Amino acid sequence: MGSMMLHPESREEVRQLLTQPPDLDSVLEGMETSTIRLALRDSALLASVDGDYDKAEIKVLTSICEAAGLEKKDLNNILEWVSKSWENAALGRDFIALPLPGDEDIINRGK
Protein backbone atom coordinates (compact mmCIF):
# COMPACT_ATOMS: atom_id res chain seq x y z
CA MET A 1 0.00 0.00 0.00
CA GLY A 2 2.97 2.26 0.48
CA SER A 3 3.91 1.93 -3.17
CA MET A 4 0.37 3.05 -4.06
CA MET A 5 1.10 6.26 -2.14
CA LEU A 6 -1.78 5.73 0.28
CA HIS A 7 -1.75 7.96 3.33
CA PRO A 8 -1.07 5.92 6.50
CA GLU A 9 -4.59 6.59 7.80
CA SER A 10 -6.07 5.39 4.51
CA ARG A 11 -3.95 2.25 4.68
CA GLU A 12 -5.54 1.30 7.98
CA GLU A 13 -9.02 1.87 6.55
CA VAL A 14 -8.22 -0.29 3.50
CA ARG A 15 -6.82 -3.05 5.73
CA GLN A 16 -10.02 -2.99 7.77
CA LEU A 17 -12.19 -3.22 4.63
CA LEU A 18 -10.13 -6.15 3.34
CA THR A 19 -10.46 -8.12 6.56
CA GLN A 20 -14.10 -7.17 7.24
CA PRO A 21 -15.72 -6.13 3.97
CA PRO A 22 -18.99 -4.19 4.16
CA ASP A 23 -22.30 -5.82 3.26
CA LEU A 24 -22.78 -5.68 -0.53
CA ASP A 25 -26.41 -4.56 -0.34
CA SER A 26 -25.56 -1.63 1.93
CA VAL A 27 -22.79 -0.53 -0.44
CA LEU A 28 -25.05 -0.79 -3.49
CA GLU A 29 -27.83 1.20 -1.79
CA GLY A 30 -25.63 4.27 -1.63
CA MET A 31 -24.52 4.16 -5.27
CA GLU A 32 -25.93 5.78 -8.37
CA THR A 33 -27.19 3.42 -11.09
CA SER A 34 -24.43 4.40 -13.51
CA THR A 35 -21.81 3.64 -10.87
CA ILE A 36 -23.38 0.26 -10.10
CA ARG A 37 -23.30 -0.60 -13.80
CA LEU A 38 -19.62 0.29 -14.02
CA ALA A 39 -19.00 -1.80 -10.90
CA LEU A 40 -20.79 -4.72 -12.56
CA ARG A 41 -18.61 -4.50 -15.64
CA ASP A 42 -15.41 -4.19 -13.63
CA SER A 43 -16.45 -6.93 -11.19
CA ALA A 44 -17.07 -9.30 -14.10
CA LEU A 45 -13.58 -8.58 -15.42
CA LEU A 46 -12.04 -9.10 -12.01
CA ALA A 47 -13.95 -12.32 -11.35
CA SER A 48 -12.78 -13.73 -14.70
CA VAL A 49 -9.07 -13.34 -14.01
CA ASP A 50 -8.62 -16.94 -12.88
CA GLY A 51 -10.33 -18.22 -16.04
CA ASP A 52 -13.66 -19.21 -14.53
CA TYR A 53 -16.55 -17.91 -12.45
CA ASP A 54 -17.46 -19.82 -9.31
CA LYS A 55 -20.95 -19.90 -7.79
CA ALA A 56 -20.17 -17.20 -5.24
CA GLU A 57 -18.90 -14.86 -7.95
CA ILE A 58 -21.99 -15.42 -10.09
CA LYS A 59 -24.19 -14.77 -7.05
CA VAL A 60 -22.45 -11.43 -6.38
CA LEU A 61 -22.55 -10.45 -10.06
CA THR A 62 -26.26 -11.28 -10.18
CA SER A 63 -26.91 -9.11 -7.11
CA ILE A 64 -25.02 -6.21 -8.66
CA CYS A 65 -26.89 -6.72 -11.93
CA GLU A 66 -30.25 -6.57 -10.17
CA ALA A 67 -29.23 -3.46 -8.21
CA ALA A 68 -28.27 -1.84 -11.52
CA GLY A 69 -31.77 -2.47 -12.87
CA LEU A 70 -30.47 -4.86 -15.50
CA GLU A 71 -31.71 -8.30 -16.52
CA LYS A 72 -30.03 -11.70 -16.65
CA LYS A 73 -29.54 -11.32 -20.41
CA ASP A 74 -27.56 -8.14 -19.71
CA LEU A 75 -25.29 -10.00 -17.31
CA ASN A 76 -24.83 -12.74 -19.91
CA ASN A 77 -23.88 -10.08 -22.47
CA ILE A 78 -21.32 -8.62 -20.07
CA LEU A 79 -19.82 -12.06 -19.38
CA GLU A 80 -19.62 -12.71 -23.12
CA TRP A 81 -17.93 -9.33 -23.62
CA VAL A 82 -15.40 -10.21 -20.90
CA SER A 83 -14.63 -13.51 -22.64
CA LYS A 84 -14.16 -11.76 -25.99
CA SER A 85 -11.95 -9.15 -24.32
CA TRP A 86 -9.59 -11.85 -23.04
CA GLU A 87 -9.58 -13.47 -26.46
CA ASN A 88 -8.85 -10.17 -28.23
CA ALA A 89 -6.01 -9.41 -25.85
CA ALA A 90 -4.51 -12.87 -26.47
CA LEU A 91 -4.91 -12.48 -30.25
CA GLY A 92 -3.21 -9.08 -30.12
CA ARG A 93 -0.22 -10.58 -28.33
CA ASP A 94 -0.20 -13.48 -30.82
CA PHE A 95 -0.15 -11.07 -33.78
CA ILE A 96 3.04 -9.50 -32.50
CA ALA A 97 4.57 -12.81 -31.38
CA LEU A 98 4.59 -11.90 -27.68
CA PRO A 99 2.18 -14.44 -26.17
CA LEU A 100 1.68 -14.95 -22.47
CA PRO A 101 1.30 -18.38 -20.88
CA GLY A 102 -2.29 -19.53 -21.44
CA ASP A 103 -2.92 -17.37 -24.51
CA GLU A 104 -3.06 -20.39 -26.80
CA ASP A 105 -5.82 -21.92 -24.68
CA ILE A 106 -7.79 -18.67 -24.75
CA ILE A 107 -7.43 -18.37 -28.53
CA ASN A 108 -8.42 -21.99 -29.13
CA ARG A 109 -11.40 -21.70 -26.77
CA GLY A 110 -12.77 -18.93 -28.99
CA LYS A 111 -12.67 -21.07 -32.11
Q: How far is CA 53 from CA 32, 45, 85, 97, in A?
A: 26, 10, 15, 29
- The pTM of this model reads 0.79
Q: What is the pLDDT of residue 53?
A: 94
Domain limits, the chain = 23-109
Judge contact between 29 and 21, C-beta under 8 A. no
Residue 74 CA: distances (Å) to CA of 30, 62, 77, 110: 22, 10, 5, 21
Tell me: the pLDDT tens digits for 49-104?
Answer: 988 899 999 999 999 999 999 999 999 999 999 999 999 999 999 999 999 999 99
Question: Mean pLDDT across the stretch 27-37?
Answer: 94
Above 60 in pLDDT, residue 39?
Answer: yes
